[in-house]
Amino acid sequence: MKFGIDLRNKRTGADIAVIIFQLVSVLPTFYVFVASGYIAILNKRNALTALFDFGICALPRWETLLLSFLYRLFSSEMAPYFVMLLIALALGVASKRVLMGSVKKSMAFHIVFSVFIVADLIIRILPFGFNSQFTLAFNLGAAAVRAVCLALLIADMVAYKRSANTDSAS
Amino acid sequence: MLFGVNTYNPIEDSEYFIKYSNIEPNGVYKGTETVNELVLEGDYGYGDGAAVDNGAIYANEYELTSMGVKLCKVVKIDLETREKTTVINDAELRGRCASGELVISEGAAAKSNNADTNLLCKLYAISGKVNFDKKPVISFYDTEKSQVVFTTEDKTVNEKLFKRVYLDRTLSEVQK
């Protein structure tokens, strides 16, 4: 796989990072959809609960907070997940447009996305505590997901800088 | 439900009571078991303590989410204006201590929520100050001053001990 934002027909690091966040956003919905039809699942631990735990932990902080605020607001477990699915969809569509657009906007996307991920990682390390409800294993897994996404974005930006330097030299 | 349910739960020694019913609306009523009028509709808690003081009723208000997570807050219902205000969110009124202050478990989820298995409880906790891993903070609420006068971390392990440590003692005894 080659990285670099000018490779329009190949998946770039930013593309993969967005797909990872989209997949992670979808994970908790499986638990909620099953629970809406089989409420006894709320009193059991199984693979779906692990997916939920990991999915919620691995979501960006603002998304998790929005989800829980909506949950509190509507007293419904279903509505917030539809909102979350829409956010995941919108992120994919918007990022596609930006990444396929001008190089300047694409670089800005890389930088902003990277800053968000770094901020998320810092919040995870600092004892802010609003994710302490989830177990350490899931929190570590979520941190790993963020780290991978950050690495993909940085690799992208490095590849672009190199290709820009090569172009100017030739 | 096949049969009609109409329970009468008087609040302390007052003329007010909380009714759970499938015939009439649930809520706070004024009067006797047979002759009464609705003060304010809603799902208020009786079992865990409700109080009448200084022209207001203090009670737990419950709200069930679509999948059965029970949310609880302490509300004050003004008996003159019949207006309801939230005293403390994510809290449960547990009764009165021996000196009359209301004893409230703050930052605690309702007991029926099982945080170990129900992940939706955890999600709910993220947006608030509720922490399922920690013991709740016990607040003593003075109804005359309308403010919390003392807080301490709950050290009890069950209802029996809770009654002995907080409800059977005066505020000054608890503070020692």
* Inter-chain touch A43–B71, beta carbons under 8 Å: no
Please list, residue by residue across B131-168, b when 16 or more beta carbons sit within 10 angstroms of its beta carbon and e when fewer do: bbeeebbbbbbbbeeeebeeeeebeeeeeeebeebbbe
* R_g of chain B, CA atoms, integer Å: 17
Closest CA to A5 of A91, A89, A117, A104: A104
* Inter-chain touch A133–B131, beta carbons under 8 Å: yes
In whole angstroms, what is the distance from residue A2 CA to residue A17 CA? 14
Residue B2 pLDDT exceeds 60: no
- Which of B68, B114, B132 lies nearest to residue A133, judging by beta carbons? B132
pLDDT at B71: 83
pLDDT at A168: 65
In whole angstroms, what is the distance from residue B6 CA to residue B24 CA? 8
DSSP string, chain A: ----TT-TTS--HHHHHHHHHHHHHHHHHHHHHHHHH-GGGGG---HHHHHHHHHHHHS-HHHHHHHHHHHHHHS-SHHHHHHHHHHHHHHHHHHHHHHTS-HHHHHHHHHHHHHHHHHHHHHHHTTT-TTTTS-HHHHHHHHHHHHHHHHHHHHHHHHHHHHHHHHHH-
Residue B1 pLDDT exceeds 60: no
Interface test with A, best of B71, B90, B126 (most A CBs within 10 A): B126
pLDDT at A99: 84
List of chain A residues with pLDDT < 70: 1-10, 125-132, 167-170
- Which of A36, A77, A133 lies nearest to residue B122, judging by beta carbons? A133
End-to-end, the C-alpha distance of chain B in Å comes to: 50
Cβ distance B130 to A71 under 8 Å? no
* Inter-chain touch B123–A131, beta carbons under 8 Å: no
pLDDT at A66: 87
- Which of B117, B120, B122 lies nearest to residue A45, judging by beta carbons? B117
Each residue of B74-98: pLDDT tens digit? Answer: 999 998 898 999 999 888 898 899 9
pLDDT at B122: 82
Each residue of B45-55: pLDDT tens digit? Answer: 876 678 998 88
* Inter-chain touch B122–A134, beta carbons under 8 Å: yes
Identity of residue B106:
E
pLDDT at B168: 92
- Average pLDDT across chain B, whole number: 85
pLDDT at B49: 78
pLDDT at A140: 87
- Residues from chain B that touch A134, judged by Cβ atoms under 8 A, are 122
pLDDT at A1: 52
pLDDT at B21: 85
Q: Which of A80-84, A85-89, B36-40, B119-123 has the lowest mean pLDDT?
A: B119-123
